[in-house]
Structures are given as C-alpha cells and as structure tokens.
Amino acid sequence: MSLLSPLALLFGLLAAPVIALYLLRLRRRERRVSSTFLWRQVTRDLEANAPWQKLRPNLLLLLQLLILAALVFALARPVWLRDSRVQGDLLLVLDTSASMQAADVAPTRFGAAQQKALEWIDRLPAGHLASIILMGETPAVLVAQSSDRGRLREAVTQARPGTGGANLEAALSLAASLVREGGRSEVVVLSDGNVTSIRPPGAMPFVLRHESIGTPTGNLAVDAFSTRRAAAGLDGLARVSNYGPAAGAVSVQLYADGKLYDMRDIEVPPGGDSVVRWSALPGAALFEVRLVPGDIFPLDDRAWAAGGSGDAARALLVTGGNRFLEKALSLQPGLELTLARPESFSGQGDYDLWVFDGFLPRELPRGAVFILAPPAGGVSWVSQVPAPVRGLRPGESGLLEYVDLSELHIREALTLRLPPEAQSLLESDEGYLAAVWDEPQRRMAVFAFDLHDSDLPLQPTFPILVQHLVSWLLPGLGSGLNVRSGEVVNAPVSPQAGRAWVETPGGQRVQVAPPFPPDPLPADQLGVYRVVQELDGKEHVNYFVANLFRPEESALSPSALPSVATGPAETPGDRHVPWEISPWLALAALAVLGLEWWVYSRGY
C-alpha cells in the first residue's frame, strides 16, 4: 500500500484535542437526595476541583477516534496495487462479419464476443476510458473514449453482426485515431480471425490483443450459383465447397419461383468442392439453391439467382484510344466491355451494345449503338465539315436530369440532322451536337464531337451522363445482378423513371430515386432485392440478389490475426493498476458516526 497525499496524516494530530476534552470533562455520580438546599455549597466546591483525571475506558471516545482515523486516512488517499486486465485506455473491437453468426459456441460467436466485451467493461479501472468499434466491411465507432460503463454496456448489447467481411486494417487504423496522444492504450480484438487480407499499416500506438472466438469446425457452403441462357434454354450451375477435414454428404435442392424443381444427393471431398449442373431449366424469374440438412452456419447454405443472372450485357468499344470513355463504360454494372481497334473490326460477334469512337463501319449493326466523333460525311445525318462551337447549351432531354453541363467547353464539332422523334442532348448556334433517337432496328446515341476536343470527361457529371445513356440504350441492364453481401449496389434504375424503390429481403421499402442518380444501396441482407420503377405510368420490376460467396467467412475454423506492428511490449508490472480506497474509508467513517450516535442516544 502507498499514500498519494501522505501530508494529510498530519490531521491525525486532531486526536490530541479530542482526548484532552475527555480528560477535562467533569465526572459526577448521580444520587437521589431529599433536597438540594443543603448540597449547594458542596456543588460549588466540586466545580473547583482539578479536572485532569486519569483517562478511563470510554466507548464514545474510542468511536470518535476511529471516525477521525478513517477520515485522516481517506484524506491521505491510500492505494493498493492490484492486478488488472486493462492496460491504459481500452479499445474493444467486435468482429461483425458473417462468420460471427456461426453457432458452434452458444448462443453464437457474436453473442460470445459480446459477453467477453461486457467482462472487459466491468473490469475497467476507474478513470480509464474505453471505446467500442465494430469491425465489418467498413468499421464504425459506437462509443468513443467514455468511462460510462452503462453507456458502454448498452452499446455492446445493442450491436448486431452483419453479412459481409471484416476489414481488420481499417478497424486498426480507426482505433489508432482514437488513441490519446501520450497515453497508453490497449486494443482487444474479439474475433474468430477470419478477416480480409491486411497490408501492414505501420507501427500502431497501442498494445494489440486478440481473443479468439469459436472452435475448429467444418462447414459445407454454396460458393457459387448462377444461371445462363444457352441454345437449349436456361442452364444453371452451383458449386458446393467443403471447408472441413472430412467428406460431407448433402442434398442440393433447386427451387424455381419458390417451388421445388430438383434435388441431387452429392458427396463433397474434404477441402474440395462439387459442381451441380442443370440444363433446360423452366422459365422462372428467380431460382434458389438450398443445402439440406443445414449446419451451424446457415448463411452459406442458401443462394439465389435471377433467371439468366449469368448473362452480363456485352459491349464492344471500337476506338483508336480513349481512356476516358473506356473507364466510364467499364464502371457500368452488368456490362462486360470488349475493346477493338478500327482496323481489326470485322462486324462479327454477338454484342448488346456497339460503341464506335472516331470510326463508323460500312453498315451499322442492329441493336444499341453509341457513336462518338463520327467521320465527316460518313453518314447522311452528319455535316461535312467540323466548325468551332459557339453558344453551347444543353438540350431538353430527360437524360440530362442531374447532369450539369453549364461549364462544358467544346473546341469544334460536326452538327447533326435529327429525325423528329430525337431527343437533343447538346446544341449550339450551328445546330445539334449530341442526341438520342430510336430507329426500327436500332437505338442510337450520337456525340458529333471528339471527347478530346472538349472538357466533358473532366466534368464531375460525365460518369452520370454515360450511365444515363447506357441505361437508355440497354433498358434491362442490371436486372439479375448477383452481388456479394455487404457490397454497395447501384440499383438498375432508368433515368426516365418518375420514382424508384427497392424492396429488401427483410421486407423494407427503400426509395432510391429521385433524386437522380439513384442513391447507392448497401446489400447488407442475403436474398432477393426487388427493384420497382415507375415508367410511363406503369411499374417495371427488376431483381438483383445478394449471396455470401465469401470463402474467408465460410472457412469457420478460427485463425490468428495477421502480424501487426504495435506499441511497446508490456512488462510484468504493466498489469498492476492503483486502487484507491479513500471512498471506502469515508464510508466506514460514516458508518462509525452512525454507531456513535446510537451509543450516545442510549445514554452511555
């Protein structure tokens, strides 16, 4: 034991006046007499007697000295050094990835992690701060630098696991930002160790501890599932992987629009996989694969696919070199981009979208066609000679909604002769510079200028404009997307839709537009997402699905965290923290004071 304020012991000298008061106190014995008249003179004589008498045992004096001693020691602030799990400030990192929903420990891995977190909070020394961080695809801070145990416990209790991965690197970087400068901190990661790959983030200003959650266990998982249109109809493929040390037998059930269509019994070798194929599937909007019986991790026992979900739209970009256009097209969800040079173009191939940049074939293909910088005089609806652009202004097409072109500059351009049904995108004093229109066998979008002769690719709204054009050229693009859970999805919504919303697997209805472009939607639930958009007074429905498809989450056996450089190593003395007992001494003094009052009231 040690004292934080040893000089306060000088207050112990107050015991001397207390004792002196008892020495000076007159002591008389009570006697019953018939009259006090004859005793008045005796009383006056006793008042003059010597007060310093031998100190006799007195319970009240003892209690008062105990009160004084407790108060003096409380002022001296005595402390004990005791063992503690917490070293400095505490930062608790809870893994919220999908694998934490495995039920190999009760109630689940995440539930066990919550219990451990509550134990750490209960052992937090007085005056120390704690923070709560959730480690998912994107880490989040629930509580930052708080000593309020009630608030910390509530945050841990209300936390919920997700369906994505665990980004350890981002979580540790976030924890480092919460460390007080010059202070000592400890980060405790409550995780099964199944995290995404980590780049060494450099030295971290804390001591890192990993408390592993879970037990070694096997698992059968649907790792892939898709459908694709073939010559004979719709084909399906599912891959089942075994993440255990022993072979596993399971039944694979296929559902079409909620009705059981087929069932296959398979055996998956340890550490391997087995592929199940279906041909000539019935026409259905949605398909689902289930593994029966299930296991301790149900999230990867099911997978969904929309009819033809494996059919990404194919686009061919014929260009002599246009990085801006190539990048903008490659960002479109559900679009598979192929590049070709003008001299190698043959016109062969089954493409949904044809993009010609500075080149025109002898005959335009059918379908969706996007033309940029057509050669002068190459077609009848393009002017013969480019001219400087004056009076540039946007057209009136609905595709320009939320596309700001007020700061656009174009050096020179051709002009277009448009059919009556065309929608103008860009105009100048010389004529139309960009437009879209429909023809009997194709859908056209034309820019009559070279992107390199303008600053359009540098405009913040250029990617939005390209997205609107591609959505108009390919109205069904994005339907049937198959994404991994936890990813952010740009819902396939037409820019001409009056309103659009998404119905999640959990039944929530989330409006994504307006405004345009649609707000990205996190696919944080497994299952089918229904996209509804209002076009021409009617509701059009598309689907996309979110599946787990994360080998690092399906491999349930816990593992150690990647090596990370952290702060100075702890020494044996680091685990001792001072425990001040002044409050307990003050409480003891109050209790003795109550006892002293009781003794006095009894007439002692």
> pLDDT tens digits for 451-491?
999 999 999 889 889 988 988 888 766 556 788 888 888 77
- Asked whether residue 576 is assigned to any structural domain, the reply reads no
Residue 125 belongs to some domain of the structure: yes
Note whether 497 and 399 are within 8 A (CB). no
For the record, the structure tokens of 588 come out as 């003891």
Give the residue from 410, 441, 473 where a domain finishes.
473
Q: How many domains does the chain have?
A: 4
Q: How far apart are the C-alpha atoms of 65 and 238, rounded to whole Å?
A: 84
> Angle at CA 115, nearest 5°, toward 568 and 574?
25
Q: Which of 6-10, 395-399, 560-564 has the highest mean pLDDT?
A: 395-399
Q: Which two tokens stand for residue 236?
A: 């399906």
Last residue of a domain, one of 473, 503, 533: 473
Mean pLDDT value across the chain? 83
Residues listed for the chain: 604
The HSE-up count of residue 84 (CA atoms within 13 Å, CB side) is 24
Say how many C-beta atoms besides its own lie within 10 A of residue 152's C-beta. 25
Angstrom distance (rounded) from CA 411 to CA 428: 12
Better pLDDT: 9 or 62 = 62
Listed range (240-254, 389-403, 405-419) with the worst mean pLDDT: 389-403
H or E element in which residue 584 lies: helix 582-601
Q: Which helix (H) or strand (E) holds 109?
A: helix 109-122
**CATH code at position 153:** 3.40.50.410
Q: Are 512 and 587 in the same domain?
A: no
Are residues 69 and 94 located together in one domain of the fold?
A: no
Query: Which residues, in sequence order, are CB contacts of 422 under 8 Å at separation 6+?
Result: 432, 435, 436, 437
In angstroms, the Cα distances linking 387 to 43, 201, 373, 382, 414 are: 132, 54, 13, 12, 6
CB atoms within 10 A of CB 246: 9
Q: What is the DSSP letter of 451?
A: G
| Confidence (pLDDT) at 595 | 77
Highest mean pLDDT: which range of 207-211, 243-247, 593-597: 243-247
Mean of pLDDT values over 340-345: 92
- Residue 498: pLDDT band by 50, 70, 90 thresholds? confident
Of residues 309 and 312, the one with the higher pLDDT is 312
pLDDT at position 273, please?
93
3-state SS, residue 248 = strand
Residues 94, 69, single domain; the answer is: no
CB neighbourhood size of 357 (10 A)? 22
130 and 271 share one domain: yes
**In this structure, are residues 90 and 130 in contact, taking their beta carbons and an 8 Å threshold?**
yes
In this prediction, residues 579-601 reach a mean pLDDT of 76
Q: Is residue 307 part of a domain?
A: no
In this structure, are 388 and 518 located in the same domain? no
Name the CA radius of gyration of the chain, rounded: 40
Spatial strand order of the sheet with 89-95 comes to 140-146, 130-135, 89-95, 185-191, 207-212
CATH number at residue 340: 3.40.50.880
Residue range of the domain that includes 11: 2-79+582-601
Query: Residue 233 above 70 pLDDT?
Result: yes
Contact predicate 198/278, CB 8 Å: no
Statement to judge: residues 25 and 55 lie in one domain: yes
pLDDT tens-digit profile of 253-299? 999 999 999 999 999 999 999 999 999 888 888 999 999 998 999 99
Asked if 515 and 417 count as a contact pair (C-beta separation under 8 A), the reply is no
| CB-based burial label for 305 (10 Å; 0-12, 13-18, 19+) | buried
Whether 422 and 434 share a structural domain: yes
CA angle in degrees (0–180, nearest 5) for 23-28-34: 170
539 found inside a domain: yes
Residues 543 and 597 in one domain: no
Same domain, 117 and 265: yes
Show the 3-state SS of 484-527. Answer: ECCCEECCCCCCCCCEEEEECCCCCEEEEECCCCCCCEECCCCE
What average pLDDT does range 420-444 have in this prediction?
A: 90
177 and 100 in a common domain: yes
Residue 93 lies in a domain: yes
In terms of DSSP bridges, do strands 335-340 and 313-319 run parallel, antiparallel, or are they unpaired?
parallel
pLDDT for res 540: 82
Instruction: Assess if residue 35 is contained within a domain.
Output: yes
pLDDT at 21: 65
The predicted-structure confidence for 174-207, as pLDDT tens digits, reads as follows 998 888 776 778 899 999 998 876 665 566 778 8
Q: Which residue(s) pair with 186 in the sheet?
A: 90, 207
Which tens digits make up the pLDDT trace of 58-88?
777 777 778 778 888 778 777 665 555 556 7
Express each pLDDT in 521-544 by its tens digit. Answer: 889 999 999 989 887 778 888 888
At which of 473, 503, 518 does a domain end?
Answer: 473
From 113-122, 466-475, 568-577, the region with the lowest mean pLDDT: 568-577
* 254 and 387 inside one domain: no
Let me know if residue 308 belongs to a domain: no
Task: Decide which of 580 and 349 is more confident.
Answer: 349
Kindly state whether residues 131 and 167 are assigned to the same domain.
yes
Residue 577 lies in a domain: no
* pLDDT score at 48: 43
